[in-house]
Chain A
Amino acid sequence: GAVVSQHPSRVICKSGTSVKIECRSLDFQATTMFWYRQFPKQSLMLMATSNEGSKATYEQGVEKDKFLINHASLTLSTLTVTSAHPEDSSFYICSARGQSGTEAFFGQGTRLTVV
């Protein structure tokens, strides 16, 4: 299957700082990328969907000014958690889908801890 690389895998940051998470499709062009958040022992919660070159579509309840998503190229999308707080600590996962794809491929996830 196609490969999606997510970086970093773990990050610890101080409260009030910003953190950027990268999601790259290594061997295909990702026209659509999805960003999820996962709390312990829970399922994936879709945060936003982004199409290359367009603004991301955020799910209800997700603060777009806090979770900035950029999908500037067909192989890279970034999620920036701005002014992070301890309650933002979570596991964030991206997935990518090609133009003709029927499935999405997932990154390895990023464990964010805000102290």
Chain B
Amino acid sequence: AQSVTQLDSQVPVFEEAPVELRCNYSSSVSVYLFWYVQYPNQGLQLLLKYLSGSTLVKGINGFEAEFNKSQTSFHLRKPSVHISDTAEYFCAVSEAGNQFYFGTGTSLTVIP
């Protein structure tokens, strides 16, 4: 089974500052990688995904992530955060689109 690690459980950041949310996974086989955002009492919304091709993936709301196979990482970044980015962020890994394995989540708080 896959293991997905999000080392930072909470990340406070000032508005308009850059942010990076870290994600590492365990498998060495081909995987699909995802970042989801969850607002309170809501389901998950897909931010971006990596299936193949370019290792730099751009998503919605100005987020991007870079797949690094050698480091088995898929860190999420945004150059300038907004108050509305305050939410819970989950990294997920899927082997060929089958079962999804989620990290424990990172709570991003944007400080005015």
Contact = CB atoms under 8 A, between A and B. Distances in A.
Please determine whether chains A and B interact with each other in the same assembly: yes
Interface of A: 1, 4, 6, 9, 34, 41-44, 46, 49, 91, 93, 95, 97, 101-109, 111
A102 B36 CA distance: 15
Main secondary structure of the interface of B (DSSP, over half): strand
Interface residues of B, number: 22
A43 B42 contact: no
Contact of B44 (A9, A102, A106, A111): A106
A109 B43 CA distance: 5
Contact of B97 (A1, A43, A44, A97): A97
B102 A43 contact: yes
Interface of B: 32, 34, 36, 41-46, 49, 51, 90, 94, 96-97, 99-100, 102-105, 107
Given A108-B43, A109-B42, A101 B90 contact: no
A103 B100 CA distance: 9
A46 B99 contact: yes
Given A102-B32, A103-B34, A93 B104 contact: no
The residue among B43, B51, B102 with the most chain A CB atoms within 10 A of its own CB is: B43
B104 A109 contact: no
Contact of B100 (A1, A91, A104, A108): A104
